[in-house]
Structure 1
Amino acid sequence: MATTVRIEAADGGVLRGMQDFLGRLLASGKVGGVVVPVHLFGKGMPMPTLVTDPEGLGRADPLAPAFPLNGAKLVSRLTRGRSGEKIAAVMRPCEIRAFVELVKLNQGSMDDVYIIGVDCHGAFSNTDYPRFVGEADPMAATATFLDARAKGAPGEGVDIARACAVCEHPVPLGADLVVAVFGADIRDHVPLMAASPRGEALLTGLGLAEGSENPQRAGFIEKLVAERMANLERMYAETLESTSSLEGLAQHLSACVNCYNCRVACPVCYCKECVFNTDVFEHQPWQYMGWAKRKGSLKLPTDTVFYHLTRMAHMSTACVGCGQCSNACPNGVHVMELFRTVAARTQASFDYVPGRSLDEAPPLSVFKEDEFQETVSHLAHGG
């Protein structure tokens, strides 16, 4: 699409410009609400908020380097069924991709939502974000972060979450509008680009000044992706080395306490009833004693490794690498590293990138005769 407008960085910087744009969108009547991170409690974490009154956008921080949860599940709840009004949702690339996967699984719909994707510099973990903000106003801290990242600076004292540092998809796919932060001078303006016919129609009549894509954006993206791919390959190598044996895998997961936070935080883990919440794993006292006597000792809680292996079997084709599993872990288990490493091989086997397109059916949901011909040939010859 050719339509590009400018989000001006007037008084209060580009965040005020973003708030103004979202306020215009609400005032236009084209949407009944906007889902956007808002600082609802002073300096607290900006949480996804459904805003219906433009006055409620005063503390909206859509570019904050905070990622308390993947909003795909929230948007799926708002679109699974009819509310009678359309909404707009400001989402990171990994949130969009997770939402696309949920739509494929009939857990949400694109019909009543406009997706406003943002170029993503990454975010801090839930524990590091307050350290980053410190005593500063969080809105000012966001501006400082964006300015530093635009210059390629790593930040001071704390860095973005590892999931973000290894994310090779920092640009929104499948959005209606794209907030093109990369390569932009945020002290002047940020381009807002229509990425679909629906997005182009959404911009009509908002009174925003005409703009153009920043010519530096493509080079910025190329450099950023190259850096992150290098980080990703190092992470794969480290994780494969440390988990190449059952003993290594058990050690990698040794701090797991079966709290299941990673399952709850995962945006594409959607089952209404999980097998691990049933009585299947409610063992009897005599069973525990029998296992302990057979081995001489028994680690408690049991089933931690099996739990993660089961989740990997279920989720490795759909993992978008958002890192919320690790973000939610109370004991610092490197869940993301393990899942991304396994998912890389699974997804490559099916030539599947989760969230890349609504037109691509999830692996294992369709049968393709030409898949895995090497394996079929090997078995046919008695391999």
Structure 2
Amino acid sequence: RVAVVGTGPAGMYAAEDLLLHTDAEVTLVDRLPVAGGLIRYGVAPDHPATKKVGETFARFHSHPRVRMHLGVEVGKDITAQELAAHHDAVIYAVGASTDRRLGIPGEDLPGSASATSFVSWYNAHPEVAPESVRLNAERVVVVGNGNVALDVARILVADPEALAGTDIADHALAALRGSKVREVVLLGRRGPEDAACTASELLALKHLPGVGLVVDDHDPRTGAAIDAAAPGGKAALLRDVERREVDWSRPPEPGRRIVFRFHSAPMEALGEDHVTAVRVTSGPGERDIPAGLLLRAVGYRGVAVPGLPFDEASGTVPHEGGRVSGMAGTYVVGWIKRGPSGGIGANRTCAAETVGTLLADAVAGALPAPARPSTAFRR
């Protein structure tokens, strides 16, 4: 009997491996009332092909050797020790559920939030209130240029009617229809050659109907990197994008646009009771960009699970091949194991390693026997 904590991609790849290649009984546990994890609450609504992966996983929810307990949080509703007492092994696939902070003054002002909370908002995450996001500013600054940052920028300036046929949350669609946002600034500390996004996500922005793209030419290194980029490189994709130095003292131009500003880092969120501007580096000096919303998209971070060891520096659970250090019969998979890196598919290989370690321990007789029968496991 194996418990899998978390029903996102990592947990479900592990469950799939166990169900297809062993006779194990699997208990799926998730703290949220709906299964799916990152697939359900972390993928943009205009990426239906990615979301379809969730349908593949969902077929295992009703597998005859699976029991599922939703709305159950380890460390709150049940302890790690209690869960282990009912199973031969427990695999934790709890992801990286919080975001990295900028560490700048004003970061906690109203109007400053994580991009992950914004993504959760438009995906109807049960822990994010529908009224938590207000789109009453013309300009939004997003710190970061990874895929999450590009998702957020795209959703903010896309035609809401193009999103109406997706599974976007009703409250988010209504807010986007009434949104005042016309410009999103993507702020990157490094140059275009080091952008964290994938080429496909960047290319998708270039084909967004009715949305213009501009590269802020405030730093000569930006244009030089774009011109020197090899064909197929991410920086090369920006070669035909308009380049000019943006006058931030003026309000956003008519229409909708996304501005790429490279070699510029946030220094401070300005405002008394709400964000009104973001102070950023500009060459050897600084510049204020007026904005009413600041979203940070600089990465995810794992959260400690009560009862398990935790490495604060990396935000992961220490392990050897997926086996939690010093805890027989306890394993990790996914971002809580390796850190927030790699796409959905990377979890298949990660899960194969962890399940392989678990099975080797089972063959070696290294798994502790459950202290209580499976029938005794109740919420």
TM-score, scaled relative to structure 2: 0.22
The structure whose residues are more often strand, as a share, is 2
Larger relative contact order, structure 1 or 2 (CA cutoff 8 Å, min sep 6): 2
The structure whose residues are more often helix, as a share, is 1
TM-score, scaled relative to structure 1: 0.22
